[in-house]
Chain A
Amino acid sequence: MLLKAKMLGMAAAMALTAGGAHAQALVYCSEGSPEGFDPALYTAGTTFDASSHPIYNQLVEFKVGTTETQPGLAESYEVSEDGMTITFNLRQGVKFHSNDIFTPTRDFNADDVIFTFDRQGNPENPYNEVSGGTWEYFNGMSMPDLIKEIEKVDDYTVAFHLNRPEAPFIANMAMDFASIVSKEYADAMLEAGTPEMLNQAPIGTGPFTFQAYQKDAVVRYVRNDDYWGDPAKVEALIFAITPDASVRYQKVQAGECHVMAYPNPADIEAMKADDGVEVLEQEGLNVGYLAYNTQVAPYDNPTVRKALNMAIDKQAIIDVVFQGSGQIAKNPIPPTMWSYSDATVDDAYDPEAAKAMLEEAGVSDLSMKIWAMPVQRPYNPNARRMAELMQSDFAEIGVDVEIVSYEWGEYLERSKATDRDGAVLLGWTGDNGDPDNFLAVLLGCDAVGGSNRAQWCNEEFDEVVKAAKVTSDQAERTKLYEEAQAIFKDQAPWATIAHSVVYMVTRPEVDGYVVHPLGGHIFNQVGLK
């Protein structure tokens, strides 16, 4: 086994140095180290890139390049009349990987599905506390409240009984934390007294088999020739961990990597002009916003909020703060998400009209605070600078702004207070591609005092979003979410500012790379010309 791995590694690498014609190993310059290889334990995208995408499958999966789901390890599913039971029909003949400590004796079946979720939710499960598991996503997506019971109907049928109907549940099953692990492997490792191997030497059903990881340096995979779906196009996949963006670009230019993520925004122009690389781009699944406190006067008046929105020169923010790698946001959900309402008309930048509206609302000599985040995020690369631009925009309509900031943990906590003084700069990156994950989480009445930083509870909006959550027909849900976006725009609890633009840089010989709106970097169907 060791020899085989060695030879494969050599073959892959030789192909790489040969370059071009016979290239069989794809090298991806990744931005950081995976925290581990059991995706349910972690929350970082870097970890998911290295674990859930190449190594594992989920019951349903996101179609790469969209936020829609398609069959994965479940060939089909049925939702019961009342929406409370979802039955997955599992694919047969799916083989788990093997490594030098484990060779599977059976195919994937219902026991693996049940084990995958039971270990995350059941404190009695011996794997519940292995590797310090806190199961952040499982808990964060409210799975413990939602799932009443998971029933094994037969070897290839699993029924999830829920406590309430919830349409986004299907999308949740495509998330990284729902990656299916092997119960047989888990049992074997428990017996051998090394349960942490489930995380360190992962076994999945995915298109690539994990080969080796050297911390902060390299992750190696080889193609899974027994893969149930379309086999990977390259024999080997290598993640060369390269934290510095300028160095990543140098490596792509020198041919040491084929693909890189997260280029410096300042380098994009030069990259586009460089014939040796190709630059792919797409809006990220995120939104950056300024949330007013709608429970405090005068921001409880929609006219005042609208007026302030109209005073913000968003294009200047895109140019200065995002250096072009952003797009003006008019809706609270990003354009790559289904149900995005193109009909929405954004508040025009018009300081004169804004001034008049403030007067009309009887507001004069307004002074306010703007909270600037202390950290960089894709949806807001420089919150301080953004706040300064807004400060000068608001000064033009006679509003005096004081910029405040706190340490990140403090910032997140204090901004939740319903009596908070000031408007908060923050944002959100989507988890499961479902509009509910933005609209209910960030703007629902239940989230006031929590992740609803506008402290905005609008009954009409809340009803529409709640109705969409229990409807399983997607066309109907789309209509409801479009309605919700219209109410949002009319009431203006936020100034929607920007969606980041995600860039990927590839060498010309890379074939078939698609930028995925959910943020993952997926190489399952990428080849080399």
Chain B
Amino acid sequence: MLKYFASRLLTFIPTFIGVTLISFAFIRLLPGDPIIVMAGERGMSPERHAELTAQYGFDQPMYVQFWNYLTGVVQGDLGNSFVTKRPVWDEFFALFPATLELSLCAMIFAVALGLPAGVIAAVNRGKFFDRALMSTALIGYSMPIFWWALLLIIVFSGILQWTPVSGRIDLVYYFPNASGFMIYDAIMSGQSGALWSAIRHLILPTIVLGTIPLAVIARQTRSAMLEVLGEDYIRTARAKGMSPSRINAVHALRNALIPVITVIGLSVGTLLAGAILTETIFSWPGIGKWMVDSIFRRDYPVVQGGLLLIAVMVMIVNLTVDVLYGIINPKIRKR
């Protein structure tokens, strides 16, 4: 197991260098001089332009810029944002807890509903429940996030007034020196009602962000289950007179989980993409909106640093998924 883990970890290094290069090149491939964009209509004199170009190091050859960037990255320095002038690292970790909290909730929501829904649909293949569920999943998958979010806000926050419109917690609550994980902060503050307020604020964004992964997981679970249920060993188990619930839960589901876990791992990317819109609509202070704003402003350090950090997060998730495979299916780690 340890050897398997180490071999997976080794693949990290070339991927990391590749990602660094791509994130560096990506923003520079976009047309647009960041200094001119910064000045806008106001413009600036050619002397001032040259001065700033030199200050930011854009006058150096590309490979020198990349080398400087890479040596910075290795030392944990991702540079400072052009816009806020603050270290990219600080900004990322100020915002990341919000994204992580929301993504985790969305994932739990998607898995908690998607897995059982997929299993039930597979067991009741072709029946009404199966068809209803799969059509709903298709709708969920194709729903534009923006529209879906506004619809939920108008119904649940506007008309019914069950949930707050946006934000992470009522403005009543203020936690100095907080961790950024609102649920945790609310519990630690000991203020009455804080936890409930934080949870109420999480409901709609969780549903919106979790909808697409939920649909994908439900469909994937269903088809994986169907495949497994047709296998010989299931028939054997049935022939032996094992109870259907035991067959489904222990023999079928465990084997069907492998492709499902792959999908869950891949959904992390989808979650980050969805987070951009979800965060914008729900005024959720996470990294999605931060990245998009930075691309428009040609804020090079933020875009390349942010991309790199996100890529590392995805790599960590993939590594976890690989390790999980090994736990679920011992055959894989022996390969």
Q: A residues engaging B (CB < 8 A)?
A: 2, 5-6, 9-10, 13-14, 16-17, 25, 27, 35-36, 41, 43, 131-134, 136, 139-140, 196, 199-200, 212, 214-218, 220, 238, 240-244, 246-247, 250-251, 253-254, 256, 407-410, 412-413, 416, 426-429, 450-451
User: Nearest Cβ distance between residue A60 and chain B, in whole angstroms?
Assistant: 22
Q: Is the CB of A132 within 8 A of B80?
A: yes
Q: Is the CB of A215 within 8 A of B174?
A: no
Q: Is the CB of B176 within 8 A of A140?
A: no
Q: Is the CB of A408 within 8 A of B32?
A: yes
User: Nearest Cβ distance between residue A387 and chain B, in whole angstroms?
Assistant: 18
Q: Is the CB of A250 within 8 A of B174?
A: no
Q: Which of B48, B82, B98 contacts A139, CB < 8 Å?
A: B48
Q: Which of A25, A247, A426 contacts B282, CB < 8 Å?
A: A247
Q: Is the CB of A410 within 8 A of B174?
A: no
CB of B68 within 8 Å of the partner chain: no
Q: How far is the CA of A251 from the CA of B161 in the complex (A)?
A: 11
Residue in chain B with minimal CB distance to A426: B41
In the complex, which residues of chain B have a beta carbon less than 8 angstroms from the beta carbon of A407?
A: 31-32
Q: How far is the CA of A413 from the CA of B40 in the complex (A)?
A: 10
Q: Is the CB of A427 within 8 A of B32?
A: no
Q: Is the CB of B282 within 8 A of A212?
A: no
What are 10 A-B residue pairs whose CB atoms fall within 8 Å in the complex? A9-B174, A16-B171, A36-B86, A132-B85, A215-B285, A250-B165, A251-B166, A413-B33, A429-B41, A450-B43
Q: Which of A16, A132, A242, A409 contacts B32, CB < 8 Å?
A: A409
Residue in chain B with minimal CB distance to A34: B84
Q: How far is the CA of A499 from the CA of B36 in the complex (A)?
A: 25
Contacts known (A6-B176, A247-B166, A413-B36); A254 close to B42, Cβ less than 8 A: no
Q: Which of A16, A43, A218, A253 contacts B158, CB < 8 Å?
A: A253
Q: Is the CB of A412 within 8 A of B165?
A: no
Q: How far is the CA of A36 from the CA of B90 in the complex (A)?
A: 14
In the complex, which residues of chain B have a beta carbon less than 8 angstroms from the beta carbon of A247?
A: 150, 153, 165-166, 281-283
Contacts known (A212-B174, A254-B161, A428-B41); A243 close to B289, Cβ less than 8 A: yes
CB of B245 within 8 Å of the partner chain: no
Residues of chain B from 16 to 46 with CB closer than 8 A to chain A in the complex: 31-34, 36-44
CB of B157 within 8 Å of the partner chain: yes
Q: Is the CB of A216 within 8 A of B166?
A: no
Q: Which of A133, A214, A409 contacts B36, CB < 8 Å?
A: A409
Q: How far is the CA of A214 from the CA of B174 in the complex (A)?
A: 10
In the complex, which residues of chain B have a beta carbon less than 8 angstroms from the beta carbon of A408?
A: 32, 37
In the complex, which residues of chain A have a beta carbon less than 8 angstroms from the beta carbon of B165?
A: 247, 250-251, 254, 256
CB-CB nearest 7 A-B residue pairs: A216-B285, A13-B172, A9-B174, A217-B285, A132-B85, A409-B36, A409-B32
Q: How far is the CA of A16 from the CA of B167 in the complex (A)?
A: 16
Residues of chain B from 64 to 104 with CB closer than 8 A to chain A in the complex: 80, 82-86, 91, 94-95, 98
Residue in chain B with minimal CB distance to A241: B283
User: Nearest Cβ distance between residue A186 and chain B, in whole angstroms?
Assistant: 16
User: Nearest Cβ distance between residue A133 and chain B, in whole angstroms?
Assistant: 8
Q: How far is the CA of A378 from the CA of B38 in the complex (A)?
A: 17
Q: How far is the CA of A214 from the CA of B41 in the complex (A)?
A: 30
Q: Is the CB of B95 within 8 A of A134?
A: no
Q: How far is the CA of A254 from the CA of B165 in the complex (A)?
A: 8
User: Nearest Cβ distance between residue A212 and chain B, in whole angstroms?
Assistant: 6
Q: How far is the CA of A452 from the CA of B270 in the complex (A)?
A: 46
In the complex, which residues of chain A have a beta carbon less than 8 angstroms from the beta carbon of B176?
A: 2, 5-6, 212
Contacts known (A131-B85, A132-B80, A250-B158); A13 close to B290, Cβ less than 8 A: no
Contacts known (A243-B289, A244-B283, A254-B158); A412 close to B40, Cβ less than 8 A: yes
Residue in chain B with minimal CB distance to A13: B172
Q: Is the CB of A409 within 8 A of B41?
A: no
How many residue pairs between the two chains, A and B, have CB atoms under 8 Å in the bound complex?
144
In the complex, which residues of chain A have a beta carbon less than 8 angstroms from the beta carbon of B98?
A: 216-217
In the complex, which residues of chain A have a beta carbon less than 8 angstroms from the beta carbon of B166?
A: 242, 244, 247, 250-251, 256
CB of B210 within 8 Å of the partner chain: no
Q: Which of A16, A250, A427 contacts B172, CB < 8 Å?
A: A16
User: Nearest Cβ distance between residue B167 and chain A, in whole angstroms?
Assistant: 6
Q: Is the CB of B39 within 8 A of A214?
A: no
Residue from B43, B91, B171, B173 having most chain A Cβ neighbours under 10 A? B171
User: Nearest Cβ distance between residue A485 and chain B, in whole angstroms?
Assistant: 21
Residue in chain B with minimal CB distance to A236: B171
Q: Is the CB of A14 within 8 A of B283?
A: no
User: Nearest Cβ distance between residue A16 and chain B, in whole angstroms?
Assistant: 6
Residue from A254, A427, A451 having most chain B Cβ neighbours under 10 A? A254
User: Nearest Cβ distance between residue B241 and chain A, in whole angstroms?
Assistant: 58
Residue in chain B with minimal CB distance to A246: B150
Residues of chain B from 199 to 241 with CB closer than 8 A to chain A in the complex: none
Q: How far is the CA of A131 from the CA of B37 in the complex (A)?
A: 20
User: Nearest Cβ distance between residue B79 and chain A, in whole angstroms?
Assistant: 10
User: Nearest Cβ distance between residue A260 and chain B, in whole angstroms?
Assistant: 12
Q: Which of B43, B85, B167, B178 contacts A36, CB < 8 Å?
A: B85
Q: How far is the CA of A416 from the CA of B36 in the complex (A)?
A: 13
Q: How far is the CA of A238 from the CA of B280 in the complex (A)?
A: 19
Q: How far is the CA of A218 from the CA of B98 in the complex (A)?
A: 13
Q: Is the CB of A140 within 8 A of B42?
A: yes
User: Nearest Cβ distance between residue B65 and chain A, in whole angstroms?
Assistant: 17
In the complex, which residues of chain A have a beta carbon less than 8 angstroms from the beta carbon of B289?
A: 216, 243
User: Nearest Cβ distance between residue B287 and chain A, in whole angstroms?
Assistant: 9
CB of B170 within 8 Å of the partner chain: yes
In the complex, which residues of chain B have a beta carbon less than 8 angstroms from the beta carbon of A131?
A: 85-86
In the complex, which residues of chain A have a beta carbon less than 8 angstroms from the beta carbon of B164?
A: 254, 256
Q: Which of A16, A199, A250, A413 contacts B153, CB < 8 Å?
A: A250
In the complex, which residues of chain A have a beta carbon less than 8 angstroms from the beta carbon of B94?
A: 214-215
Residue in chain B with minimal CB distance to A447: B43
Contacts known (A139-B48, A409-B37); A214 close to B171, Cβ less than 8 A: no
In the complex, which residues of chain B have a beta carbon less than 8 angstroms from the beta carbon of A238?
A: 171
CB of B305 within 8 Å of the partner chain: no
User: Nearest Cβ distance between residue B313 and chain A, in whole angstroms?
Assistant: 19
Q: How far is the CA of A43 from the CA of B298 in the complex (A)?
A: 16
CB of B143 within 8 Å of the partner chain: no
User: Nearest Cβ distance between residue A293 and chain B, in whole angstroms?
Assistant: 17
Interface string of B131-160 (1 = CB under 8 A from A): 000000000000000000010011001100
User: Nearest Cβ distance between residue A374 and chain B, in whole angstroms?
Assistant: 10
Q: Is the CB of B174 within 8 A of A242?
A: no
Residue from B43, B80, B84, B286 having most chain A Cβ neighbours under 10 A? B84
Q: How far is the CA of A214 from the CA of B178 in the complex (A)?
A: 10
User: Nearest Cβ distance between residue B301 and chain A, in whole angstroms?
Assistant: 10
User: Nearest Cβ distance between residue A507 and chain B, in whole angstroms?
Assistant: 14
Q: How far is the CA of A256 from the CA of B161 in the complex (A)?
A: 12
